[in-house]
Structure formats: C-alpha cells, structure tokens
Structure 1
Amino acid sequence: MNTQDLENYESDLELQLFREYRDVVSLFTYVVETERRFYLANQVDLQVRSAGGEVFYELTLADVWVWDIYRSSRFVRSVRVVTFKDVNIEEIAKPDISLP
C-alpha cells in the first residue's frame, strides 16, 4: 500500500464518519469536546476535582456516540473521562418542527 492509497483510505473513513455523525446527531442532547475526543451524549455529569494542588475534570457520559474513525462500534452505553484540560459541553438545539 502506497502513501496515496493510505491517504485515500483515511479520507474515505473520515467521510463515512461524518455521514454517520450527520445521521445520528439528532438522537442526542449534548455535544462534548475534550482534548482527545468528541462525543454525542444524552446524559452528562461533569465534576471538577483537585488533588495535590492540581485541578482535573471527571466526566461521566451515558448513551454515547464517539467520534473515532478506528472504533468498530461508536455507540457505547457509558464513558468516563478524566482530563486536566478544559471540557466543552454544549446542548444541541432541537427544532420545534421536524420536517420529513
């Protein structure tokens, strides 16, 4: 496999992932971004912790879709993330009317 084949393969995976995201985003309530991953979730619990003078974040998500092209299954029941970086949580706007 040459470099161009590998780049085409990864581009195809990214396009498939984006299409899947577009298809499932309406099933979720929150978008969650950490320094390593992007998640869609229906329940989010964020706890700010400190130990030894360091502040860290403990994030627990339920009913989750994980943005990761290399995962065989992106839908998971729960995820626990511990990070020292900021966490961005946004509620997904739901339209009042859903068009077919």
Structure 2
Amino acid sequence: MSGDELENYESEMELQLYREYRDVVGLFRYVVETERRFYLANAVDVTARTEGGEVFFEVMLEDAWVWDIYRSARFVKRVRVLSFKDVNVEELPPRDDLQLPQDGPAVT
C-alpha cells in the first residue's frame, strides 16, 4: 500500500467515524477529552490521584462511545481511563440545541 493510499484510507475512516459520531452524539450527556482519546459518555467521574510524587487522573465512564478509527467496538458499558494530563469534561446541550454540520468536520 502506498503512502497516498494509506492517507486516503485513513481520511475515509475519519469521515466514517465523524458520521457515526454525528449519529450517536444525541444519546450522550458528556464529552470527555484526554491526551489520547475523545469520548462521549452518560456518566463521568474524574479523580486526581498521586503515586510516587506523580499526579494523574482516573476517569471512570459509563455508557461510553470512543473516538478511535482502529477500534471495531466503540460502544463500551464501563471504562476506566488513566490520564497524565488535564481531562476536559463538557456537558452537552439538549439534543434539540445541538447543531452539527451534515457533511463532516470543518477542515482548517
């Protein structure tokens, strides 16, 4: 597979993932962003932990969806995530107030 073919494949997978996100976002209450992943979830608990002088965050998610093109099962009932950088949690507006572009994410 050439570099261009791989890039086209990954671009198509990202577009498919965005379309899935657009279809399911209304099922969730929260958007959670860590340094490695992006999640949708209906319950979120973030706890700061220290071990050996290091600070990290334990994030517990329930009824979650994972933004990952390489993951075949993106819906998970319960997930525990460890993050060594800040964790951003945002509550989503009610579905009627949520406006997403139909064609895909904006490219800058």
Normalised by the size of structure 2, how large is the TM-score?
0.85
1:68 has 2:65 as partner: no
Contact 2:26 2:95 survives alignment (8 Å)? no
- Which residue does the alignment assign to 2:105? none
Kindly report the root-mean-square deviation, in angstroms, between the aligned alpha carbons of the 2 structures: 1.6
Q: Find the aligned partners of 1:90 and 1:8 in 2 and give their Cα distance.
A: 32
Deviation at 1:97, TM superposition (A): 7.4
Q: Helix, strand or coil: the match of 1:21?
A: helix
**Matched pairs, number:** 98
DSSP-derived class of the 1:7 partner: helix
- My pick for the range that moved more, 88-97 or 15-24, is 88-97
Q: CA deviation at 1:70?
A: 0.4
Give the TM-score, by structure 1 length.
0.91
Moved more, 64-73 or 89-98: 89-98
Deviations 1:38-80 (A, max 9, x none): 0000000111111222211111000000000000110011110
Name the counterpart of 2:89. Answer: 89
Q: For 1:10-61, what per-residue CA distance to the aligned partner results, in whole angstroms no more than 9, with x for missing partners? A: 1110000000000100000000000000000000011111122221111100
In structure 2, C-alpha distance between the alignment counterparts of 1:21 and 1:30, rounded to whole Å? 13
